[in-house]
Amino acid sequence: MTSYPDIIDTICHFANKDADRPFLRDAHGDALLNYGALRHEAARIAALLAQLGVKPGDRVTAQVEKSVPALMLYLGCLWHGAVYMPLNSGYTAAEVAWFIDNAEPSLLIIDPSWVAKLTDLPSALRIETLDNSGKGSWTDLLGTVANPSLVAPRHDPEAPAAMLYTSGTTGKPKGAVIPRRALSSNAAILIDMWRFTDQDVLIHALPIFHVHGLFIATNTLLSAGGSMIFLPKFDAAQVHALFPKATALMGVPTFYTRLLTLPGLSRESTSHMRLFISGSAPLLAETHREFEERTGHAILERYGMTETQMNTSNPYDGGRVPGTVGFPLPGVDLRVTDPASGEPLAQGEIGMIEVRGPNLFSGYWRNPEKTAEDMRADGFFITGDLGMIDEAGYVRIIGRGKDLIISGGFNVYPKEIEAEIDELPGVVESAVIGVPHRDFGEAVVAVVVSQPGITLTEADIVAGLTERLAKFKQPKSVQFVTELPRNTMGKVQKNALRDQYNGLFV
């Protein structure tokens, strides 16, 4: 297997080569943190982790808002060998408590406002705080570390680097353990595929609790020696104004639909940009065409997931075909198989997408049964996505075989939402589906059967879920029916529901 430079070795390489080269830039495009300071900060965090008794392989959990110290925490964990475990800042206290119980981290870093919300946590768990301005007990502790060693430790490429939770369609979320090898190989390959160099400036407006913003954006630019304009969130007008100071944007489809609402978006306003990339959710062909008509840039769509990082990409040179996710990356094998038998299918046939390569995760945390279920004996991972390889060799994603909803780039687990709705007063049962949405890719829709004689409203359902589910999981529409459609075996026919409500948002 090809050997790739570890992300920490890459930091040291560019710090030695040109310590003053900017890595992070502020919202004006001005230098905020250079590679020399980046190396020092990663080493300093690693030293503090060691002082606190965090050992290599221990989980470090963070549920914090996006900030420079939050990003540095990830890189400090990489330097030390701790397993970084980010959590969506939208999770509720009940959800966070479950993740902590499952992962058993040594250290939890949270926003100060969360301290009072989280109760009954393990007594051995150390808790520090970090707010959205990058201040808290965590940064206070960092201030006590003066002269860390700048000699990067050696790490096994197969050692775990991070653990991100991903939802399936049955059971609780699963912790995908991501080895260092997956991060370094994907970064090196994407640099070549997308032509990133040390002259690139990426607009980073993605969250950093997600693979897209944390790994794909950060690791790729870092490994190229480029820089990032680091924004706390996406604002279409602000991002558009930064185009003259940047060369690339990585975003979810929502970024592009919102940019298209700006009257000033044009070939002239995007003339300094060389690349627009979209992922994490399907990009509508209509959005692709409209963006190219307005700007002259064809959005480059790619395909990845938590367990695999990036699998495919439309080409940098050549046709970026709307509705496709391009070709398998170098070193990544992709096949389409019969979902029932697992036998490979011919080109043009629709089946289950399976992938194999250095980009794959190590397995699911403390869940060997699910790992074995999703991994073939020959090393292929069963993605759960249905797709095909068309006559030109482009991969097309047709749908998800397990009803997973991707809304605004976030995975949403229907069964989890259904369980919460079914517990609400007056509800008999529910079915949760995803339907096309111009802004979010897919919108969560709840179809609810209420008890006879009881009148429920959408507001009743939404109010009942507010404290139980993160906002991105909550339905954007609630529809009421007298009964759910079922087949002869009694299984709810979600395909029929998707067809019925397909036009709600488009």
pLDDT, one tens digit per residue, over 238-277 is: 999 999 999 999 999 889 999 999 999 999 999 999 999 9
Residue 135 to residue 309: CA distance in whole angstroms? 31
The yes-or-no verdict on residue 168 having pLDDT over 60 is no
Per-residue pLDDT at 114? 87
Rounded mean pLDDT, 195-208 = 97
The yes-or-no verdict on residue 490 having pLDDT over 60 is no
Containing H/E element for 79? Answer: helix 68-80
Q: Which two tokens stand for residue 330?
A: 């170098």
Per-residue pLDDT at 20? 97
The yes-or-no verdict on residue 376 having pLDDT over 50 is yes
pLDDT, one tens digit per residue, over 54-75 is: 999 999 999 999 999 999 999 9
Rounded mean pLDDT, 169-177 = 78
Per-residue pLDDT at 280? 84
Rounded mean pLDDT, 200-214 = 95
The yes-or-no verdict on residue 410 having pLDDT over 80 is yes
The yes-or-no verdict on residue 281 having pLDDT over 80 is no
Phi, psi of 300 (to 5 degrees): -95, 110
**Cα angle for residues 205, 207, 212 (degrees, 5° grid):** 90
pLDDT, one tens digit per residue, over 92-116 is: 898 899 999 999 999 999 999 888 8
Q: Is 380 exposed, middle or buried (0-12, 13-18, 19+ CB in 10 A)?
A: buried
Rounded mean pLDDT, 356-361 = 98
Per-residue pLDDT at 169? 44
The yes-or-no verdict on residue 171 having pLDDT over 70 is no
DSSP letter at 213 equals I
Per-residue pLDDT at 186? 97
Containing H/E element for 480? Answer: strand 477-480
Per-residue pLDDT at 32? 93
DSSP letter at 207 equals -
- The residue type of 58 is D
Q: Which residue has the tokens 């991105």?
A: 472
- The residue type of 156 is D
SS3 485: coil
Phi, psi of 42 (to 5 degrees): -65, -40
Q: Which two tokens stand for residue 278?
A: 């979209």
Rounded mean pLDDT, 2-19 = 95
Asked if residues 165 and 176 have their Cβ atoms less than 8 Å apart, the reply is yes
The pLDDT mean for the chain works out to: 93
Containing H/E element for 435? Answer: strand 427-437
Per-residue pLDDT at 488? 45
**pLDDT band, very low/low/confident/very high, at 1 (cuts 50, 70, 90):** low
Asked if residues 129 and 112 have their Cβ atoms less than 8 Å apart, the reply is yes
Per-residue pLDDT at 282? 77
Sketch out the chain's domains with CATH numbers.
Answer: 7-233 (3.40.50.12780), 315-400 (2.30.38.10), 405-500 (3.30.300.30)
Asked if residues 178 and 365 have their Cβ atoms less than 8 Å apart, the reply is no
The yes-or-no verdict on residue 448 having pLDDT over 90 is yes
Per-residue pLDDT at 167? 64
Residue 288 to residue 409: CA distance in whole angstroms? 17
Rounded mean pLDDT, 2-24 = 96
Per-residue pLDDT at 489? 42
The yes-or-no verdict on residue 446 having pLDDT over 80 is yes
CA 105 to chain centre: 21
pLDDT, one tens digit per residue, over 411-425 is: 787 878 988 998 899
Rounded mean pLDDT, 122-128 = 93
**pLDDT band, very low/low/confident/very high, at 350 (cuts 50, 70, 90):** confident
